[in-house]
Structure 1
Amino acid sequence: MNSDPVEAGRGRGGLADDVCRRIADEIVLGNLAPGSRLDEVSLAARFNVSRTPVREALKQLAIMGLVDTRPNRGSVVAALSVDQLDQMFEAIGELEAACARHAALRMTEADRARMLELHAEGRAAMQVGDIDRYDAANLELHATIIRGCYNPVLIELATSLRHRVSSFRRTQFRNVERMGESFEEHTVIVEAILAHDVITTYREMRSHLLSARSATNRVAPAWAGPNTNGK
């Protein structure tokens, strides 16, 4: 039984999520190259945890497509290409834009109130430069809009793909300027949804996701490709 008070206090699930985020960030930032072996013992020592949360984190990363787990050979960083990342962002852009378009017509008053609350939380986080707080508000804002489409199939597809690119979307906020840009883009989307403007909502949500892809280049040049403009 693990006697580490930090690990015991946080719980295995939360600790595994934290380790998952930290490894994912290193992969996205290019500190862990494709093919790099991810040894459970070394990672446990590095993050000062037991092997259990590391093992759970590697499972999460495998689901996200950032890690390949091979029987009797352990885990390695997946060979995700720039083209594959471009394609995932293109797809999630279309899916989230479709969800937002339906949400502009289907969101309840409670959904709209929650969306405004999260948008305000994003503003507060941006103003103090709190990356983690902004990322949390950003994730929940997008989730609220996705759920607001009230189409279970779209929700499932968008949520699944969203999970796969979540590390890249989070890492963009290491550039503090991107928080301001993201917030302004959210403002246009939120206003369009409140106005039931399905055309603007779709266009701006899609553009927002493509901008998030481009913003990745600022903090992770290794993922920049010919289809991104680095803006």
Structure 2
Amino acid sequence: MDMKTTSLPLSDQLLEAIEERIVTGAYPPGTRLDEVDLAKVFEVSRTPIREALIRLETMRIIEKVPRKGWVVTPISPQSLCEMFEFISELEALCGLFAARRATPFQIQQLLSAHEACRDVDDPDAYYRANEGFHKALYAAAGNSYLLEQLTEMQRRARPYRRLQLRAPERIKASFAEHEAIVAAVLARDEGAAAERLREHVMLQGDRFNRLLQSLEGFGRAGR
């Protein structure tokens, strides 16, 4: 990420930059993340670095270890699969509720968020637009407990969802999946909306294998 051209707040820029290095293997599992060292690397003060690390800890991407400080948390392929499996079911429920009860205003917000994803080629820019699309769906679902769970899980899955968007043709496929989701919600087809969301989020077959290969490949490159 180019920290000189993005309009994101500094703490967000640092979060994405550190997150990027973790997922791509530059900071493999077990790596100690020292505030002073990171401040030198990114040429910033320790305060925004600390803010970024605290947020990464809430996402469970790093953890605070006694006498070591922040350390990159390992994640197994099974844990990754289970996490996306859980998120896919939450999102499916969200699609069902959105198709059942979305108001005209919420439908318009969903359409606007969908259009914001159109013709976006950069993976990180698309990820942010994609977040807006899913947040519009969460709002349309109208369930605060579901929103709370989805928000927490999205934080934890964020780096892996960003990484999978770098697979060839994934952005194009994701937008097409959004089209099908929107169509189901507009048609008030609860079953179809739930199934389209489940398919959109769930990492299966080739998609899961590609993600694991990306993690392994970047990890080797980072060592």
1:71 pairs with one of 66, 73, 89? 66
Q: 1:131 and 1:146 mapped to 2: Cα distance?
A: 22
Partner of 1:108: 103
Deviation at 1:217, TM superposition (A): 4.7
For residues 127 and 214 of structure 2, what CA distance do their matches in structure 1 show? 22
Are residue 192 (structure 1) and residue 187 (structure 2) matched? no
The 5 Å alignment of 1:58-137 reads 58-125=53-120, 129-137=121-129
Counterpart secondary structure, 1:43: helix
Quick check: 142-151 or 72-81, which moved more? 72-81
Match of residue 219 from structure 2:
none
Q: Which residue of 1 aligns with 2:200?
A: 208
CA–CA distance in 2 between the matches of 1:214 and 1:15? 36
The answer to whether the 8 A contact 1:178-1:215 is kept is no
TM-fit CA distance, 1:213: 9.3
Taking the TM superposition and a 5 Å limit, the aligned residue runs for 1:162-181 are 162-181=154-173
Greater mean alpha carbon deviation, residues 136-145 or residues 208-217: 208-217
CA contact (8 A) 1:103 1:145 kept: yes
Task: State the 1:71 CA deviation.
Answer: 3.4
C-alpha RMSD over aligned residues: 2.3
- Equivalent AA in structure 2 for residue 87 of structure 1: E
Q: 1:212 & 1:83 partners in 2: Cα distance?
A: 12
Q: Match of 2:133, SS?
A: helix
Q: Which amino acid aligns with 1:18?
A: Q
- Residue 40 of structure 1 aligns with an amino acid whose one-letter code is E
CA spacing shift, 1:113–1:219, aligned 2, 3 Å: same
1:212–1:66 distance in 2 versus 1, CA, 3 Å:
farther
* Contact preservation (8 Å) 1:169, 1:212: no
Q: TM-score, normalised by structure 2?
A: 0.87
Q: What secondary structure sits across from 1:196 in the alignment?
A: coil
Cα distance in 1 for partners of 2:204, 2:42 equals 29
* Aligned residue identity for 2:103: T
Range with bigger deviation, 166-175 or 201-210: 166-175
Cα distance in 1 between the residues matched to 2:176 and 2:69: 43
Task: Name whichever of 45-54 and 204-213 sits farther off.
Answer: 204-213
In 2: Cα distance, 1:143 partner to 1:192 partner: 17
Counterparts of 2:83 and 2:131 in 1: how far apart (Å)?
17
**Alignment coverage as a number of residue pairs:** 212
Matches within 5 A, 1:142-157: 142-157=134-149
> Does the CA contact (< 8 Å) of 2:32 and 2:68 recur in 1?
no
Aligned pair in 2 of structure 1 residues 116, 212: CA closer, same or farther (>3 Å)? farther
Contact 1:29–1:220 (CA under 8 A) maintained in structure 2: no
Instruction: Tell whether the 8 Å contact from 1:104 to 1:192 is kept in structure 2 after alignment.
Output: yes
Percent of aligned pairs sharing the same letter: 38
What is the CA distance between 1:157 and its match in structure 2?
0.9
Moved more, 156-165 or 67-76: 67-76
User: What residue in structure 2 maps to residue 218 of structure 1?
Assistant: 210
Higher relative contact order by CA 8 Å / sep ≥ 6: 1 or 2? 2
CA distance in 2 between partners of 1:27 and 1:171 (Å): 11
Structure 1: segments with no counterpart, 5+ residues: 1-5, 225-231
* Equivalent residue number for residue 228 of structure 1: none
